[in-house]
């Protein structure tokens, strides 16, 4: 069970954001909590047990206490160094004790944090929300800036904070921003977050409903449309008929108009030439090829049955 606890403690140190020179107070508080958890922070606040005098006999308990302090001091110093970036690790790894390392970091970076306070204040008031990003995501970024206010012991009236955030809403939220400004009752930061979340959900719903919906076709409708697309258009005139279907393989074309009108629309070619009476007339005829073929077929049929005929 103790092994699991130590393993969990090591993972906590591993997840700690490495200190790179910025926001020292927050990093120091996190490191302080972890060092207390592993029970080695006492070496920073308690001095090392003194060595015995020349003529003084030291008890075993005192010796063990001093050895334990030395061991815990090395562990504490190692955790602090491992929580730094590589650049800062190289700069501070030669410091002998955890207390000395802790004090050097405070002297160096607490002063710089005074400058960072002014940076945090300006960062909040200069922040502007933009369209194209989630409003709640930007609202949470502002809250993270405000969290750093408390870390630096900076106080800002909540009414001013809420009013400033309302003014920071993106241009597309103009109507909602005006409605919040004209509310009779004041709201706190948490209530503002609730209003923003609800309004953003409504924006998403309206945007979704404005999208064109695709009409889903049934399987039978798609088959009928495909069959109509694959139909070969008849060559006859559409003006003279209407196609009616009585099944997938049967078509009937009904002709529109009276019988006389239809007959008048059909060209009639009269055969003014009479049939030839002799072979010579047949060969001189316009249809000589037809009569020649007919004569040959007649002769072939006579030869097959062995009969006779006379050509007039």
**DSSP states of 196-235 as a string?**
HHHHHHHHHHHHHHTSPPPPPPPHHHHHHHHHHHHPPPPS
Q: Tokens 């010796």 label which residue?
A: 63
pLDDT for res 190: 92
Of 48, 46, 79, 83, give the one whose Cα is nearest residue 62.
Answer: 48
Give the span between the Cα atoms of 25 and 37, in whole angstroms: 19
pTM (whole model) above 0.85: no
Using a 10 angstrom Cβ sphere, with 0-12 exposed, 13-18 middle and 19 or more buried, the burial of residue 66 is middle
> Contact at 8 Å (CB) between 274 and 287?
no
Give the span between the Cα atoms of 256 and 181, in whole angstroms: 75
Give the span between the Cα atoms of 175 and 85, in whole angstroms: 47
pLDDT for res 3: 41
Using a 10 angstrom Cβ sphere, with 0-12 exposed, 13-18 middle and 19 or more buried, the burial of residue 121 is middle
Give the span between the Cα atoms of 50 and 56, in whole angstroms: 12
Long-range contacts of 264-269 (CB under 8 A, 24+ apart): 265/240
- Residue ranges, the chain, pLDDT below 70: 1-14, 55, 111-116, 208-274, 304-312
pLDDT for res 140: 93
> Contact at 8 Å (CB) between 98 and 104?
no
Give the span between the Cα atoms of 69 and 62, in whole angstroms: 11
Strand spans (E) along the chain:
241-245, 251-255
pLDDT for res 64: 92
Helices and strands, number each (H, E), in the chain: 14, 2
Backbone torsions φ then ψ of 196, nearest 5 degrees: -65, -40
pLDDT for res 34: 94
Give the span between the Cα atoms of 168 and 166, in whole angstroms: 5
Partnered with residue 251 across adjacent β-strands are 245
pLDDT for res 81: 96
Give the span between the Cα atoms of 276 and 187, in whole angstroms: 116
């Amino acid at each position: 069970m103790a092994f699991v606890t130590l393993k969990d403690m090591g993972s906590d140190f591993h997840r700690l954001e490495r200190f790179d020179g910025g926001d020292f107070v927050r990093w120091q508080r996190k490191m302080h909590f972890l060092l207390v958890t592993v029970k080695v922070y006492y070496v920073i606040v308690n001095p090392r047990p003194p060595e015995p005098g020349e003529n003084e006999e030291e008890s075993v308990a005192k010796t063990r206490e001093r050895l334990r302090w030395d061991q815990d001091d090395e562990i504490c110093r190692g955790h602090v160094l491992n929580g730094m970036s590589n650049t800062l690790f190289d700069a501070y790894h030669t410091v002998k004790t955890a207390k000395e390392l802790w004090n050097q970091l405070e002297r160096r970076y607490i002063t710089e944090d005074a400058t960072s306070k002014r940076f945090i204040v300006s960062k909040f008031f200069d922040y502007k929300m933009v369209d194209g990003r989630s409003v709640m995501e930007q609202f949470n970024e502002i809250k993270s800036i405000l969290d750093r206010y408390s870390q630096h012991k900076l106080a800002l009236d909540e009414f001013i904070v809420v009013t400033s955030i309302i003014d920071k809403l993106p241009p597309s939220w103009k109507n909602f921003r005006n409605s919040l400004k004209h509310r009779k009752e004041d709201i706190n930061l948490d209530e503002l977050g609730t209003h923003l979340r609800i309004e953003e959900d409504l924006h998403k719903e309206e945007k979704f409903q404005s999208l064109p919906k695709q009409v889903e076709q049934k399987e039978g409708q798609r088959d009928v449309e495909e069959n109509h697309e694959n139909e070969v258009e008849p060559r006859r005139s559409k003006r003279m008929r209407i196609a009616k279907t009585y099944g997938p393989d049967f078509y009937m074309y009904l002709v529109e108009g009276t019988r006389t009108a239809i007959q008048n629309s059909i060209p009639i070619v009269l055969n003014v030439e009479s049939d030839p009476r002799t072979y010579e007339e047949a060969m001189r005829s316009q249809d000589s090829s037809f009569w020649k073929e007919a004569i040959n077929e007649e002769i072939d049929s006579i030869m097959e049955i062995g009969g006779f005929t006379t050509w007039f």
